[in-house]
Amino acid sequence: MAPFFPVAVEATGMNETRHRVLDALSDGPVSGPALAEDLGISRSAVWKHVEALRAAGFQIESDDAGYSLAEVPEFGGEAVEYGLDAPFDVEYHDSIPSTNARARDLAAGGAEDVVVLADEQTGGRGRLDRDWVSPSGGIWLSILFRPDVPMAHAPVYTLAAAVAATRAAREAGVEATIKWPNDVLVSVTSAGTSSADDDDVLVGGEERKLVGILTEMEGEADRVSWVVVGIGVNANVDPDSLPSEANPTSLQAVRGETVDRRLFTQRLVETFDTLRQTPESVLDEWREYATTLGKRVRVETPTGVVEGDAVDVEFPGRLVVETDDGRQTVSAGDCEHLRPV
Ligand code: BTN
């Protein structure tokens, strides 16, 4: 008979007891018998948790005083869950075709509040059914959740993801900005450094793509069943290994050194978690980081081209464009920045 998992995340998410073992070790040293008594489990169960944590890359030292946590792994599901201040299980894969596809499968099985995270994707998908090249060293993740909102409100979660990724990039020292609706860019000057200052764009800087976001959902018009927000962060990857048409850059290329992917992922997920609870606060934060507002834009929408000055964004994510024929709002499309207004 096939093994039964109530929801698939049970198979890989870190369980409550292991969290408590890890917390105790980080306050260690603590002896095996003391830990067993504190947690109400056997000594051999303690030992199994310690071995499983070592296998996941945690460095756990043991001496006469007991066990203590010496180092947390650079990346991985248990590493990201450790110290994560957001109520998500993390399902990690070294390599997977697409975290969005996996999150959709989990959604079909009834899961919620799961982050599917991968080091490499072999069949990553982008917007407009494009490929999304996802080599090892990136942060490829999909957040599955079930908000109690009408389908029409769901685009706000794409903007929330862009804000979360931008904030995490800035905390990592990279002056990222958001291009409507969902690209996170870095303005790279001719000297190769990053800058959020528009003047640099004019004097030869160019906007390069750091993060892409692909949101998928299912539900009835009046209520979403699930949303999967897929976020691809070019973290510790060489931009030359990515398709040049996308004009890519990476956190590593801009910083000149690798980024701590565990901390970056935690910040991203935590900010997203806060924003998803207050969708009405997303637009103000988005405006703060937007590079599109104040620029002349050309947007290819499903119904034609809209060209004009991008003047605002309105709930749940429509771009407001001042055209020669008056104000138009655009819900979806490919946006090109022409020049500052
Ligand atoms: C875009 O075209 O800009 C969107 C790219 C979205 C890529 C991410 S990587 C994680 C998740 N899994 C996928 O297959 N796609 C998204």
pLDDT digits (tens, 9 = 90+) for 189-225: 654 455 544 443 333 468 999 999 999 999 998 999 9
Identify the H or E element spanning 194: strand 194-195
What CATH number is given to the structural domain containing 163?
3.30.930.10
In this structure, the residue with its CA closest to atom 15 of ligand 1 is 125
Residues 215 and 82 in one domain: yes
92, 129, 183, 214, best to mutate for ligand 1 pocket (most atoms within 8 Å of CB): 214
In this structure, the residue with its CA closest to atom 11 of ligand 1 is 230
Gap from CA of 176 to ligand 1 centroid (Å): 18
Residue 9 belongs to some domain of the structure: no
**2, pLDDT greater than 60:** no
Could you tell me the residue range of the domain that residue 324 belongs to?
Answer: 295-337
Residues 157 and 249 in one domain: yes
Gap from CA of 200 to ligand 1 centroid (Å): 28
Residue 80 structure tokens: 């990201």
Residue 5 belongs to some domain of the structure: no
pLDDT digits (tens, 9 = 90+) for 289-312: 999 999 999 999 999 999 999 999
Angle at the Cα of 24 from the Cα atoms of 23 and 25, rounded to 5 degrees: 90
Average pLDDT, the chain: 91
CA 141 to ligand 1: nearest atom: 10
Side chain identity, residue 208: R
**Ligand 1 pocket: which residues have CB below 6 Å?**
98-100, 121, 124-127, 130, 132, 134, 140-142, 183, 212-214, 230-232
Residues 239 and 317 in one domain: no
pLDDT digits (tens, 9 = 90+) for 129-157: 999 999 999 999 999 999 999 999 999 99
Residue 294's φ and ψ, nearest 5 degrees, are 90, 0
pTM of the model: 0.89
- Whether 172 and 264 have beta carbons less than 8 Å apart is answered as yes
Residues 144 and 258 in one domain: yes
Residues 239 and 302 in one domain: no
In this structure, the residue with its CA closest to atom 8 of ligand 1 is 232
Q: Give pLDDT, residue 8.
A: 37
- Which range (7-21, 57-71, 76-90, 241-255) has the least confidence? 7-21
What CATH number is given to the structural domain containing 333?
2.30.30.100
Q: Confidence band (pLDDT; 50, 70, 90) for 238?
A: very high
Distance CA 46, CA 44 (A): 5
Residues 40 and 117 in one domain: no
